[in-house]
Amino acid sequence: MQTETLIKMANQIGDFFEAEPDEAQANLEIANHLNRFWTVDMRKQIATYVIEESGAGLHKQVVSAISSHLKV
Amino acid sequence: MDDIKYTKSNYIAPKYVPSPDYGTPKKVSEKLVMLTIDGVDISVPEGTSIMHAAQLSGVSVPKLCATDSLEPFGSCRLCLVEIEGRRGYPASCTTPVAEGIKVHTQTQKLADVRRGVMELYISDHPLDCLTCAANGDCELQDMAGAVGLREVRYGYEGENHLKAEKDETNPYFTFDPSKCIVCSRCVRACEETQGTFALTIEGRGFGSKVSAGNKDFMDSECVSCGACVQACPTATLMEKTVIEAGTPEHSIITTCAYCGVGCSFNAEMKGEEVVRMSPNKDGGANHGHSCVKGRFAWGYATHKDRITTPMIRKNITDPWQEVSWDEAINYAASEIKRIEAKYGKDAMGGITSSRCTNEEVYVTQKLVRAVFGTNNVDTCARVCHSPTGYGLKQTLGESAGTQTFDSVMKSDVIMIIGANPTDGHPVFASQMKRRLREGAKLIIADPRAIDLVENSPHVHADYHLNLRPGTNVALISALAHVVVTEGLVKEDFVKARCERDSFVAWRDFVAKPENSPEALEKELGVKAQTMREAARLFATGGNGAIYYGLGVTEHSQGSTMVMGIANLAMATGNLGREGVGVNPLRGQNNVQGSCDMGSMPHEFTGYRHVSDDATRALFEAAWGRPLSAEPGLRIPNMLDLAGEGRFKALYCVGEDIAQSDPNTQHVTHALESMECVIVQDLFLNETAMYAHVFFPGASFLEKSGTFTNAERRISPVRRVMAPKNGFEDWEITAKLSEALGYSMHYNHASEIMDEIAALTPTFKSVSFKKLDEFGSIQWPCDDENPSGTPTMHVDEFVRGKGKFFVTQYVPTSEKVNTKYPLIMTTGRILSQYNVGAQTRRTKNVEWHHEDVVEIHPHDAEERGVKEGDWIGITSRAGETVLRATLTERVQPGVIYTTFHHPESGANVITTDNSDWATNCPEFKVTAVQVTRVHQLSDWQKHYKTFSEAQIAFANKKLSTQQPA
Ligand code: SF4
Ligand code: SF4
Ligand code: SF4
Ligand code: FES
């Protein structure tokens, strides 16, 4: 899948959970959403992107959610 | 489980037994009144008419102008009775019972009067009973017999109406005024049952006659619901099918296959031919009413375009080859095996549809999960109500509407957001209009002035919040801001029923000044004062109920808005009893059901995630196959991957993604890139033009199963004729499974439901036998609620405590600019249904034969566009050309269209933008430019050539018997 599509989708998810005041909780929620609704291939692709491109274009919160809690 | 095991050969649909016509509606009262009718004592609720009471005690009083679906009118004078001690002969239909009265319904005097009345009627009525279409089904005829009319003394020479001209303009029924007895049942049906007020009685006395506003029926306000036809006691208003075929001889109860209201019908049959579909008086969702689609638009089932023989081909540029079922199934199976070997399991998947029965959806997802070995299964709810499933599960704990339709009769304030019930959910709209005429208040949030705003007789919106498309979440925050800051929160409810922390976070968030109506006024385009007043009304006006549709879900923040709605309902204490609630109006008949049946890639039946080990173990044990714990691909993911050559095989049952999904060119590119597309449908739909295997499907008249409507009501679909294609749809799926080496052995759809019930807690006590008994059941239906659950979340929410979510407004990335300065939004109309595959193949096209674009006169003038001009609509995704109509229903800056016709290409323009949580496409907001043009767009020209070639391939298909 095009990485841009995944970035856009991940950022939209990030936008929603940005309203969560507790940052740790927000990280958990974002990763949880990805774990529950994205296929493992999609998750792997975004995780690789975060490592290889240091998550350029992704919201900071999303990057930290992916780095800390994503199941790949 | 149940003692009876249904099989195809022993299943006998319960015969429809008509309940008696009580003459006047049932009354509800705590107080009972005792009276004597023809010597029999009976006690009935206060307010009941004598006629109704008599029928309850088994006595039929002759009547013509009364019927129990309508309030009595008292005009025919046939129902007179005598009451001991009272003077005169009161009409039993309009006279309520009184304590201790003694009523006589049959005396010599009454008989004389009644005969006199009948004589007058008959003297102005054609005596062609033997050749009349209503012969044997005419109340006038019955009454002539009942009162013993033997002669008519007046002669037929005098002035009469016998030569009055017929009105045959409506494609489905005729109006023959020569047979009219001016009982006004039709007029009252149009007012009370339908709420359209199209008919009146013109003139007085002998000169009075029924009129559709002095116009032909087709040119009048009539919406062809058929309520008047059903109410007419004579052959004056008559279905054309009955005129052609004669009166039906048996009748089987089934469920409409169109919208999410899920009306119950009696399929009135002559052998295997449907003569009439008449709405079932005992239907839980419709109480004897229907709309033009369900009652009349079923002719598609026998339309000449229907394909009934399986077809295969190697490439989509090849003509189709007609083959036997075995050949088609084996070919499909071999292709699936080949693709699995070459590309792996994850390159395959399935799509089901909300037009499928629960049983069909269930076996399809079972096939994909257990046999294909992947969770790549999705359903068309992805593109309509997936945010509802997500949002309501998060907040309340169950992915479903909270009420019954009848609940609206106890609502005091009705808020409709992004829905157009009079077009999309007509029968429910009629009920809602009844409540509004009784005085309930109405708030409408919609960019466009839908009919309920001010275009429905005796109904108008108290507030129309005509927000700009895409700003829903800002609106719900503004309304919540008023509730919170003006102290209108129902603190007791929130304290007792909701998670405190989540409430506090939400309260503090909406209370922020940036969420005030004043701060958001400009973004929304709605006056702050109007929002304040609407919010106050909703919070303080008594029972508040929210009804919403795709105008809420089909946005980039669709799921956020659903949660925002649930937040507002919780904060105002409007959940857990009748008259309130959060009510998603589901588009298609089985949107709720298809979601319940585990058709989404991440969950099994009953909304249980695939990663839940206990649930997965349950299914693995039942199905005998290992199952994946990882969520599969959603439709847009499948399409993205297909376009990149990484998704290769699709089994698509009853769904037409090439027309109904956004960004058509992206979809067709994806389809073209696959190696095996299997389509199962009635017609060569748009997706089938890209298919390699076509399995002809069965219509709803030809199969057994169940549909679940918007109020979680499971209703039976019953086979009233043999499938023209040879098999019910679940049988085809089972055959494919068999060919893939996994046996699905069911004798009858009821056994599939038994399996669903055994594996799904909310369906635990559902069975066909129970449905036969109860008529319909609203899930959850289990040991605690053996007859179902009309209202949800009564004592506590399904998730325990209700959870508030902070709903930050994030403007969509689909923004207007100088290149694309207008916003296009989409919707539906009454006579057509979804992609139109069915309704376009009925006479409903007489109401809507093309999709047009509504544009505000101001925007039109700027572009030199006049009524009826062709206009080119260009978006970031594509271009199409449609005819313009100028109207102030849309606001300046917004255009609106429907998408019932494929050549319109409305989805050529819609983009890939989607809901953040569920990928539900943002159909409702597309930035566009509009210009006057003189020819079709390139896409439309290409479409025309392509679809003509594909139709020719299907028409000139090669048969195995005679190779070309
Ligand atoms: S068909 Fe329906 S809308 Fe039309 S006149 Fe009859 S009741 Fe009214
Ligand atoms: S058309 Fe039928 S229902 Fe209407 S007034 Fe005439 S007889 Fe009665
Ligand atoms: S389309 Fe909807 S409202 Fe119309 S008859 Fe069918 S279920 Fe009822
Ligand atoms: S039925 Fe009572 S007056 Fe007609």
Instruction: Decide: B301 and B722 in contact? Cβ < 8 Å.
Output: no
Question: With bands split at pLDDT 50, 70 and 90, how would you rate the model's confidence at B321?
Answer: very high
B360 Cβ contact list (under 8 Å, min separation 6):
B352, B653, B654, B705, B729, B730, B733
Q: Span B150-179, mean pLDDT?
A: 81
Q: Which residue does chain B place closest to A33, by CA atoms?
A: B917
Where in chain A are the domains?
A: 3-69
User: What per-residue confidence (pLDDT) applies to B104?
Assistant: 95
Return the SS3 of B819.
coil
User: Which residues have a Cβ under 8 Å from the Cβ of B916 and sit 6 or more positions away?
Assistant: A9, A12, A13, A15, A16, B556, B557, B559, B560
Q: How confident is the model at residue B711 (pLDDT cuts 50, 70, 90)?
A: very high
Any ligand 3 atom below 6 A from CB of B289: no
Q: How far is the C-alpha of B320 from the C-alpha of B189, rounded, in Å?
A: 50
Q: How far apart are CA B226 and CA B919, in angstroms?
A: 39
* Alpha-carbon span B436 to B955, nearest angstrom: 51
Query: Which residue from B222, B197, B220, B225 is spatially nearest to B293, judged by alpha carbons?
Result: B225
DSSP string across B660-724: HSSSHHHHHHHHHT-SEEEEEESS--TGGGG-SEEEE---GGG--EEEE-TT-EEEEE---S--T
Instruction: Note the Cα B13 to chain centre separation in Å.
Output: 24
Q: Which of B50-54, B518-522, B535-539, B831-835 is least confident?
A: B831-835
B333-353, pLDDT tens digit by residue?
999 999 999 999 999 999 999
Question: pLDDT value at position B158?
Answer: 58
Query: What average pLDDT does range B93-121 have in this prediction?
Result: 93
Average pLDDT over residues B357-383: 93
CATH number for the domain formed by residue range(s) B334-384+591-775: 3.40.50.740
* Closest-CA residue to B389 (of B182, B562, B615, B161): B562
Alpha-carbon gap, residue B138 to B122, rounded angstroms: 13
Separation CA B246–CA B243 (nearest Å): 6
A63 or B589: which leads in pLDDT: A63
Q: pLDDT, tens digit, for every residue of B742-801? A: 999 899 999 999 999 999 999 999 999 999 999 999 999 999 899 899 998 998 999 999
Domains of chain B, by residue range, sit at 334-384+591-775, 397-580, 822-910+934-953
**Residue B103, ligand 4, Cβ within 6 A:** no
What CA–CA distance (Å, rounded) separates B36 from B501? Answer: 62
B334-384+591-775 and B822-910+934-953: identical CATH topology: no
CA-CA-CA-CA torsion sign (B307, B312, B318, B319): negative
Minimum-distance ligand 4 atom for the alpha carbon of B62: 1
B442-449: average pLDDT? 92
Q: For all residues of chain B together, what is the average pLDDT?
A: 91
Cβ-Cβ contacts under 8 Å for B511 (sequence gap 6 or more): B481, B484, B485
Q: In the CATH scheme, what is the code of domain B397-580? A: 3.40.228.10
CA of B279 to the centre of ligand 3 (A): 10
CB B89 within 8 A of CB B110: yes
User: B497: closest CA among B381, B556, B429, B580?
Assistant: B580
- Kindly give, in sequence order, each residue whose CB lies less than 8 Å from that of residue B9, ignoring residues fewer than 6 positions away: none
- pLDDT value at position B963? 37
Q: Which two tokens stand for residue B871?
A: 């206009």
* Token pair listed for B296: 């009349």
Mean pLDDT value of segment B704-716: 93
Cβ atoms within 10 A of the Cβ of B250, count? 13
pLDDT in tens, B762-771: 999 999 999 9
Pocket test for ligand 4, best of B55, B63, B184 (most atoms within 8 A of CB): B63
> CA nearest B33: which of B52, B61, B20?
B52
Instruction: Give chain B's contact residues with A (Cβ, < 8 Å).
Output: 346, 505, 509, 556-557, 559-560, 601-602, 609, 611, 630-634, 637, 640-641, 644, 806-808, 810, 813, 912, 914, 916-919
In the predicted model, what is the mean pLDDT of residues B894-904?
A: 85
Could you give the CA distance from residue B84 to residue B96 in angstroms, rounded to a whole number? 15
* Pairwise CA distance, residues B316 & B950, whole Å: 8
In this prediction, residue B157 has a pLDDT band, given cuts at 50, 70 and 90, of low
Which one-letter amino acid corresponds to residue B955? Answer: N
Residue B962, C-beta contacts closer than 8 angstroms, at least 6 positions apart: none
Q: Give the relative orientation of helices A23-37 and A3-17 as an angle to the nearest 10 degrees.
A: 140
B76 near B27, Cβ under 8 Å? no
Owner of token pair 């309130």: B580
Q: What is the pLDDT of residue B2?
A: 44
* Neighbour-count burial of B803, counting CB atoms closer than 10 A to its CB (0-12 exposed, 13-18 middle, 19+ buried): buried
CA of B742 to the centre of ligand 3 (A): 37
Helix H or strand E encompassing B227: helix B227-231
- Count other Cβ atoms within 10 Å, centred on residue B415: 27
Q: Are residues A12 and B505, on separate chains, in Cβ contact within 8 Å?
A: no
Q: What is the whole-number distance in angstroms between the Cα of residue B61 and the centre of ligand 4? A: 9
- Give the model confidence (pLDDT) of B723-746 as tens digits: 999 999 999 999 999 999 999 989
B580 has pLDDT over 60:
yes
Query: CATH number of B822-910+934-953: 1.10.420.10, 3.30.1780.10, 2.40.40.20, 3.40.50.10860?
Result: 2.40.40.20
CA-based nearest distance B464→chain A, Å: 28
Residue whose CA is closest, atom 2 of ligand 2?
A: B232
The reply to whether ligand 2 has any atom less than 6 angstroms from the CB of B198 is no
Mutation test of ligand 4: which of B73, B110, B113, B114 has the most ligand atoms closer than 8 Å to its C-beta? B73
Which residue's CA lies nearest to atom 6 of ligand 1? B228
**Residues B80 and B106 sit within 8 Å (Cβ to Cβ):** no
The answer on pLDDT for B386 being more than 50 is yes
The single residue listed with the structure tokens 């890139």 is B673
CB of B251 closer than 8 Å to CB of B280:
no
Rounded Cα–Cα distance for residues B540 and A68 (Å) = 46
Q: Would you say the CB of residue B189 lies under 6 angstroms from ligand 2?
A: no
Contacts of A19 in chain B (CB under 8 A): 509, 806-808
d(CA B152, CA B115): 10
CA distance B717 to B708: 10
Cα–Cα distances (Å) from B860 to B122, B628, B867, in that order, read 58, 54, 9
Q: Does A2 contact B644 at a Cβ distance shorter than 8 Å?
A: yes
Facing residues of B681 across strands? B696
Least confident of A37-41, B530-534, B852-856, B943-947: B943-947
Give Cα separations from B308 to B303, B304, B734, B791 (angstroms): 11, 10, 18, 42
Q: A20-61: per-residue pLDDT in tens?
A: 888 898 899 999 999 999 999 999 999 999 999 888 899 988
ipTM of this complex prediction, to 2 decimal places: 0.94
Q: Over chain A, what is the mean pLDDT?
A: 90
- Strand, coil or helix: what is B462? coil
Q: Determine whether the shortest distance from the Cβ of B223 to ligand 2 is under 6 A.
A: no
pLDDT of res. B10: 63
Pair of tokens at residue B844: 């409903």
Residue partners of B381: CB distance under 8 A and separation at least 6:
B354, B389, B591, B594, B595, B599, B600
Contacts of A7 in chain B (CB under 8 A): none
| Chain position carrying tokens 């099989």 | B7
**Distance of alpha carbon B477 from alpha carbon B813, whole angstroms:** 20
